[in-house]
Amino acid sequence: MKVAMQDNKKSSVDFSPSVFGVDTNPTVVWKVITIYTKKRITTSANKSRSDVAFSGKKPWQQKGLGRARAGTKASPIWRKGGVTFAKTSIDYRSKYKINKKEYRQAIRVMLSDHMREGRIKLVSELNVTEAKTKSFKQLMTGLDFVKAGKPNNWTGLIIVGDLSESMYLASSNLYEYMLTDVRSLDPLSLKHASELLITREALKQIEEWLS
């Protein structure tokens, strides 16, 4: 399958059928995206009686004073004491596992779906002389990769071989674009993308990774 270059319509590039010609498979895509979104770290946490900053000294003697017995000021029934069933931060990154073969297959399926729908554009390279939003918008307009005349939820995913700092800064103010290199390519970005713009270097790396 051939795709014409956006910056040179006379030349075209062959895409590997083993990466961009895979049959659709909603099950593996759903599974990978579901597990991928669950791999997170929760940040909500309370202090239990062992975390509160109190000494372990017994407030008063056990018997003889007529008061209720107390063993520590960190008791949950005391003011400023610990929480009984305290929340703790949980790292879910190691609790959910994605098989490497399934993960790569899901990436292949999503790339193939974009290819079947004609939503992939290819460019030889992307260069921004300065880290300015104006320069980036002019570059995207010249490649016909803009939101104008398209749905409000249009999102363009740009995949480059090597992400430069100037390119990242130039695109950071434009919410309709997602910019990534091949190493950081993830299922969520492919799922949310309306169109893909891939450089030749990135295409080479993708085919080496997924073939």
pTM for the whole structure: 0.79
162-190 per-position pLDDT tens digit? 888 999 999 999 999 999 999 999 999 99
Sketch out the chain's domains with CATH numbers.
2-25+99-210 (3.40.1370.10)
SS3 for 28-83, per residue?
HHHHHHHHHHHCCECCCCCCCCCCCCCCCCCCCCCCCCCCCCCCCCCCCCCCCCCC
pLDDT (tens digit, 9 = 90+) per residue, 26-84? 999 999 999 988 888 888 999 999 999 988 899 999 999 999 999 999 999 999 999 99
Question: What is the tens place of the pLDDT at every residue in 107-145?
Answer: 999 999 999 999 999 998 888 888 899 999 999 999 889
